Structure 1
Amino acid sequence: MRVAIITESFLPDVNGVAHSVVRVAEHLVSKGHEPLVIAPNPAMMTRRALPVTDYPVVRVASFPMLGYKDFRLGLPVPKIAEALDGHQPDVVHLASPFFLGGRGSVLAAQRGLPTVAVYQTDVAAYARLYKLGWGEATAWKWIRTIHNAADRTLAPSTAAAEALIAHGVSRVWLWRRGVDVERFRPDHRSEAVRRSLAPNGELIVGYVGRLAVEKRVDLLARTSRLPGVKVVIVGDGPARKDLEKAVPDALFLGALHGDELARTYASMDIFAHTGPYETFGQTVQEAMASGLPVVAPAVGGPVDLVKPDTTGVLVPPEDAGALADAVADLVADDERRIEFGRAARAAVARRSWAAVGDELIGHYAAVVAGPGVPASVQMAA
């Protein structure tokens, strides 16, 4: 099968959309399919870091998003149509479509190509937070237009699916994300890493993710002042300087990758997720695969991932006190904390990228075969 993936973000960007596209493309190649990725050009300073891939990547002109210059928006240039016509895809995959994906949707329709649109970013919330000049209602109108033009929309969580349906999107299916259960695993725990992060023997409470306003990492300030706790923040982004002031007791490691990231995850004791706008929560899955109990807000993607009193604790969103109290309870109860971590690993052990990749290929095959599936939310396992 020939697949054109039109994505709003791709390597060297570090975010959930880019990571998901990479894993999908890799899986397609491993199964003998032929993916093409169409993505925005990164900023000039990072173009030297463009990766070498086993599949073609077409880069199109881009510009920085107003209010969030680290994220670039692809322009609807003729190069997109040329790439589609050259690849002759059987299906078009729109990854978190909005700007570039919106143009891709139109071009696919003009060519009679079946499309699968993957909803992954709460653009409407970002429009409100970053005051982008077009409001939340306008953002939802555009999301509805793009997704209702697709043959099938894939949502990463029940909360995301319900939000799409509530805003008038039809033909919504549930497609969760995979996790690398071989890379992220408890046996990567390192006493040397633990000593370097918490030399006084504190329990390590970790956060991994982009440092941006919407992630609400500032909520960890109260947690960082708990006795016997060391908050470790992994990641980078536009809010880092402000966060270093807001959470001065935390240790900021910057962005980590590969085996170093896996060792750092496994060397933590508790994972604290703070963002209230997650459509899924990939770092929550990675932490669970690493054998960590998770404290996360009871909203969005984490509601599907964290089973209260089994794999972690769900707290009211944007409540720093509730977050700190939940962490303190786990810090005080070694047996409960360790048992939650074991259960967390078991809960994600079968969510490999290969398994969800095969599921995605099934969605491709269904839209290529034509209509016939009821327009409702399909709660896939």
Structure 2
Amino acid sequence: MRIAIATDAWAPQVNGVVRTLQSVTAELVAMGHDVCVIAPDQFRTLPCPSYPEIRLALTTHFGVGRRIAEFGAEAIHIATEGPIGLAARRHCLSRRFLFTTAYHTQFPDYVAERTGMPADWFWHYMRWFHGPSSAVLASTPSVEAILRARGVGPVRRWGRGVDLDLFTAGRAGHPALANLPRPVQLYVGRVAVEKNIEAFLACDVSGSKVVVGDGPARVALARAYPNVRFLGALHGEELASTYAGADVFVFPSRTDTFGLVMIEALACGTPVAAYPVTGPIDVLDPASSGMDENLGVAIARALACDRAAAAAYGATFGWRRSAEQFLDALIPQGEGKKRLSA
């Protein structure tokens, strides 16, 4: 099958959405499908207000539609609600093509955090954007429930996975962590206000705190917390060895829909500490994590967990199942293929 994926999130961005799309695309290709990713690197871009590391494409439904038509797409997935997603949506509606969408991030909460306006205002946009979709893909039961309660649907499950060849237990820890006072507490992800990182950095827990990632809040946080090690963005073996060398992975976000970094850490044998909120409550299990409204208590509980149990649980997440779920949702009852070829 020829599958077009329209997304505003793609390399060189580093986040869970990009890793998910890259990993699922690789699985789909390995399964014999042709995939065309329509992303910002194919257009002129401008920096996103308040987040210049993210580039927004300057395009129209004509530009996106031409790529879809030239590829000869038999199924279309719109991954994000930004300019490329909007252009793909308009193209599909103008030609009565079926398409799926995904709810990757708590977009209303993120925008509310950055603008100071109520999140409820932005749910109107979510209902409008996803309304024509033949299926809205959600990562966990909690996210499904949120979408249904907000009038967004029909909802289908699309879980996440881990590169189990890269993120494995037993590997050596990163040299940058070797001589730090223990326990080493690690955060990996965007360094941005919506990730609630300061709740972790302000936590009164002995040992060392390490932040891996980059983003608009990095300079201010590094200035406010000079004892924290900021390593910047790491990838591949370096990232995996950083997970492996930490004693606990701390996930302070209250707004993520899944938290891919949590299962990467678990697969490396590192227990996770988090708040009991959407994302962690669906993903984590008690044997390899600590959850509490007091993040210091959550960290203490996670430090008491067995690393072998964490690795065993993390190893249950694979990308092939995620790709199969994605594929199953693309053409409900075969209608998409008939409509697209009409």
Q: State the TM-score, normalizing by the size of structure 1.
A: 0.83
- Are the aligned partners of 1:156 and 1:177 in contact in 2 as well (CA < 8 Å)? yes
In 2, Cα distance between the equivalents of 1:236 and 1:98? 21
Paired residues for 1:336-375 under 5 Å: 336-337=304-305, 339=306, 341-366=307-332, 368-369=334-335
Q: Quote how far apart the aligned CAs of 1:62 are.
A: 2.6
- Are the aligned partners of 1:220 and 1:247 in contact in 2 as well (CA < 8 Å)? no
In 1, Cα distance between the equivalents of 2:333 and 2:254? 33
1:315 aligned onto 2:292: yes
Paired residues for 1:67-106 under 5 Å: 67-77=50-60, 78-106=62-90
In 1, Cα distance between the equivalents of 2:88 and 2:333? 17
Q: Which has the higher contact order (CA 8 A, sep 6+)?
A: 2
Paired residues for 1:54-203 under 5 Å: 59-77=42-60, 78-131=62-115, 136-190=119-173, 193=174, 196-199=176-179, 201-203=181-183
In 1, Cα distance between the equivalents of 2:216 and 2:310? 31
Listed one character per residue, the Cα deviations across residues 111-166 of structure 1 (whole Å, up to 9, x for unaligned) are: 2322111110211112111118x753342112112212110111012222122111
Residue type at the aligned position of 1:220:
F
- Are the aligned partners of 2:4 and 2:38 in contact in 1 as well (CA < 8 Å)? yes
In 2, Cα distance between the equivalents of 1:266 and 1:297? 22
Residue type at the aligned position of 2:330:
Y
- Structure 2: where are the runs of 5+ without partners? 338-342
Q: Quote how far apart the aligned CAs of 1:31 are.
A: 1.5
In 2, Cα distance between the equivalents of 1:330 and 1:352? 23
In 2, Cα distance between the equivalents of 1:128 and 1:201? 38
Residue type at the aligned position of 1:313:
G
Residue type at the aligned position of 1:162:
A
In 2, Cα distance between the equivalents of 1:147 and 1:74? 20
Q: Quote how far apart the aligned CAs of 1:38 are.
A: 0.9
In 2, Cα distance between the equivalents of 1:261 and 1:208? 9
- Are the aligned partners of 1:234 and 1:255 in contact in 2 as well (CA < 8 Å)? yes
**Percent of aligned pairs with the same amino acid:** 32
Partner of 1:230: 208
- Are the aligned partners of 1:65 and 1:72 in contact in 2 as well (CA < 8 Å)? yes
Q: State the TM-score, normalizing by the size of structure 2.
A: 0.92
In 1, Cα distance between the equivalents of 2:151 and 2:193? 28
Listed one character per residue, the Cα deviations across residues 225-281 of structure 1 (whole Å, up to 9, x for unaligned) are: 533x11111111111111112332211111110011111111111111111110110
In 2, Cα distance between the equivalents of 1:167 and 1:178? 27
In 1, Cα distance between the equivalents of 2:335 and 2:182? 56
| Equivalent residues, number | 336
1:144–1:329 Cα change, 3 Å? closer
Q: Quote how far apart the aligned CAs of 1:360 are.
A: 1.5
Partner of 2:32: 32
Paired residues for 1:187-336 under 5 Å: 187-190=170-173, 193=174, 196-199=176-179, 201-223=181-203, 225-227=204-206, 229-308=207-286, 310-316=287-293, 322-331=294-303, 336=304
- Structure 1: where are the runs of 5+ without partners? 42-58, 317-321, 372-381
Q: Secondary structure at the match of 2:36?
A: strand
Moved more, 31-40 or 102-111: 102-111
Residue type at the aligned position of 1:311:
S
Q: Secondary structure at the match of 2:137?
A: strand
Listed one character per residue, the Cα deviations across residues 18-41 of structure 1 (whole Å, up to 9, x for unaligned) are: 211211221222122111111113
In 1, Cα distance between the equivalents of 2:177 and 2:290? 24
- Are the aligned partners of 1:60 and 1:80 in contact in 2 as well (CA < 8 Å)? no
1:138–1:325 Cα change, 3 Å? closer
Partner of 2:340: none
Q: Quote how far apart the aligned CAs of 1:73 are.
A: 2.3
- Are the aligned partners of 1:114 and 1:368 in contact in 2 as well (CA < 8 Å)? no
